[in-house]
Amino acid sequence: MNHEIESIGQPLDRVDGRLKVTGGARYSADIPVAHVAYGVIITSSIAKGRVVQMDTAEATALPGVLAVLTPFNAPRLAKGSIEAQSAQQAQPTGGGQQSGPPNRKIHLLQEADVFYNGQPIGLAIADTLERAMDAASRVRIRYQEETPTLQMKYELTHAYKPQGMGGRPTPPDSRQGDIDLGWRSAAARVEATYVTPAETHNALEPHGTLAIWEGDHLTLYDATQGIFTVRKRIADLFELPPDNVRILSYFIGGGFGSKGPVWSHVGLAAMGARQVGRPVKLVLTRRQMFGNVGFRGETNQRVRLGARQDGALTLVKHDGIVQTSAYDEFVEPVGANTKMLYACPQIATSHRAVRINSGTPSYTRAPGEASGTFALECAMDELAYRLNMDPVEFRLRNYADTDPENGKPWSSKSLKECYRLGAEKFGWSARSLQPRSLRDGDELVGYGMATAAYPTRRSPASARARMLPDGTAVVQCGTQDIGTGTYTVMTQLAAETLGLPPQRVRCELGDTDLPEGPHSGGSQTAASAGSAVYLACQELRTKLTMMAINDANSPLHGVPASEIRVERSGLYTEGNRGESYAALLRRQGTPEVEARADAKPGEEQQKYSMYAFGAHFSEVRVDPDLGRLRLARHLAVFAAGRILNIKTARNQFMGGVVWGISMALFEETQMDPRNGRIVNADLAEYLVPVHADVPKIEIGFVEEHDPFVNPIGVKGIGEIGIVGAPAAIANAVYHATGRRVRELPITLDKLL
């Protein structure tokens, strides 16, 4: 990369920050459109059975009501029934070159079957939101009810071997070495079961779609993590050429995996708009975001670890049973990190699934890594105590110098440095080994730690860079900013590569008319889109340089390209010979110069194992009489390749840690065991940490220069922050109290 302009890495304020805080940023549901109508989804109130009748007479007679769609009158879609979707279910949905998340089976009113409480079974459309809500509430529904399966703990014996692993190309089981030998040869062992409840992502911006038909062309403004994923799926469902479908998503108020796949409401908005011949806006209520749009499924994880007296692991075995729905399959890959985190000749993982009458679980920030690492890293802590060994020391004894899963070298790995720096900054050495040995007044004090890891992913991506006559640049990529700072870091990459101040770069995203970019999942947006933007800007720079060299009137005429640098919004030699881009373009009479790049992963994918790593350290305080638990402080150190913006990166890591605190202490989606209704489906009763629950969080960085991962050396930081944080907190709780809580969330009743 070029080092002349210091833009990359700098704590540049978000380029869209002003728009966001002034309300100028328009999210999908905010887009004004003439003659718009409003859709409201009608959901089932039983968990299993069939809709026998929907009496819409009263609803449709209300003023302003345009349509009430039900399984009995909705337009037929050739690929819309659950059965028809089964055939395509395993297909990734990304258009063209992309590999988006696999299709989920969605509910498009093609059949009357009910698989969970809260499933979409109808759509009311009216000229105002209030009238649509009123109409939706006045549809009389008769069901034929069956007995649902609702509680995983009673159903573990019905677990079955799943087909796939939540879209990953890995089999459900893995096995290396002789497992029995590993168990027999251990001097210390741990065998324990860890449980994580269902957890629901709750982006502040609810899911929302605005559908506009013009003839057989459809435009959707959609809150999505993948505009091309939506285009492909919707084009398939409505049997349109993809070019007839345009998806726009300028601002997204958080995705967290929930906005990765295409869910029912997107198809219903398009169907409804076509039916009533008007644009239709459909926004989910908060309640409707519990179940319809994915969540982290419940997990039951049995971990067996063995080690020799010197601490060397002899066995790592991790068997997960996870929740899936009654009609579709998503498997939380809890064993993902278990295969690669520690050096051990005997490692085995397995995944089984249980069908529950719930919505289908789906990607939830670090799916598999977040839930699985809780179990693995708590078990590691338990074994460290059996060995009477410091937990950091125990992990160092089992440090993996190559990837245990496949023997490949790491592209880079700075986990030792994360442990070292984290322990030092945290004051880990002040920790005594014994539980209940640290006190502050009446309170028990505990320190805990855990490891974090998350794979470095990348998808093909294309980008365009344009130099305009006024010497400003525009970079474009058909990806989206889900709130993570993509606009900002792409601006920084372009600014540095072109020698412009960031203020002279405009970044455009969120439109399928732009060159195709990646879906924002798997922490891959910066690596994928960033590589494309970087290469497009390099190409643009070369074009501009050649233009100047070949221009008899340019001060750079005939100067060797190798002597020309980009700086001060133009092209200059070390001796200050040169000109601004604006001067060059003005003289050439060129309206603009454009370059495009198609970036894609290469052989590095086969040669290296690529991960970001980190270490969490937590301090908790527990009142032994009341069980009251407070997190006192949390420190995490990450090594994630090149950091594009230290401010937005810190923000991402802190967000991950906050969700880790939430997983450890608060979150649980609770189902009514009688009827499958989610009982805490709002932000008053679905507990997440408030400010008072979040202590000082310190984030440390270990700088890494990784020349292998991708052209810009970034590893992705969207998900790793949550990985390991719940285990560090649970381990601190054990250290404080001597109480090992293996079932999240750790609430006060579990400490009494």
Q: What residue ranges bind ligand MOS (CB under 6 A)?
A: 225, 255, 257, 260, 363-365, 367, 521-522
54, two tokens: 């929907």
Q: Between β-strands 313-325 and 347-356, what pairing exists: parallel, antiparallel or unpaired?
A: parallel
Which residues are registered as beta bridge partners of 641?
714
**Rounded Cα distance, 433 and 533, in Å:** 50
Catalytic hit among 332, 369, 579, 719: 719
**Rounded Cα distance, 93 and 362, in Å:** 15
- Which C-beta is closer to ligand MOS: that of 608 or that of 659? 659
Length, in residues, of the chain: 752
Phi/psi of residue 531, nearest 5 degrees: -65, -40
- Which C-beta is closer to ligand MOS: that of 59 or that of 723? 723
E strands, 417-548, are 438-440, 443-455, 461-467, 473-476, 505-508
Which residue blocks in 226-351 are alpha helix, DSSP H? 227-237, 264-276
CB under 8 Å to 439, separation ≥6 — which residues?
445
Which residue type, as a one-letter code, is found at position 449?
M
Return the SS3 of 112. Answer: coil
**Rounded Cα distance, 80 and 110, in Å:** 6
Burial category of 453 from C-beta neighbours within 10 Å (exposed 0-12, middle 13-18, buried 19 and up): buried
Alpha-carbon Rg for the chain in angstroms: 27
Give the residue carrying structure tokens 């038909």. Answer: 213
* 358, 409, 455, 569 from 605: Cα distances, Å: 37, 11, 11, 36
- Which C-beta is closer to ligand MOS: that of 363 or that of 617? 363
Phi/psi of residue 58, nearest 5 degrees: -65, -45
Which residue blocks in 331-461 are alpha helix, DSSP H? 369-387, 391-397, 415-426
- Which C-beta is closer to ligand MOS: that of 257 or that of 448? 257
Which residue blocks in 156-195 are alpha helix, DSSP H? 179-184
The number of beta carbons lying within 10 Å of the beta carbon of residue 493 is: 31
**Rounded Cα distance, 717 and 701, in Å:** 12
- Which C-beta is closer to ligand MOS: that of 484 or that of 737? 484
DSSP code per residue over 61-81: HSTTEEEEE-TTTSPP-TT-S
- Which C-beta is closer to ligand MOS: that of 213 or that of 363? 363
Q: Are 104 and 360 in contact (CB under 8 A)?
A: yes
Is 603 part of the annotated catalytic residue set?
Answer: no
Which residue blocks in 388-508 are alpha helix, DSSP H? 391-397, 415-426, 486-498
The residue at minimum Cβ distance from ligand MOS is 257
The residues annotated as belonging to the active site are 719
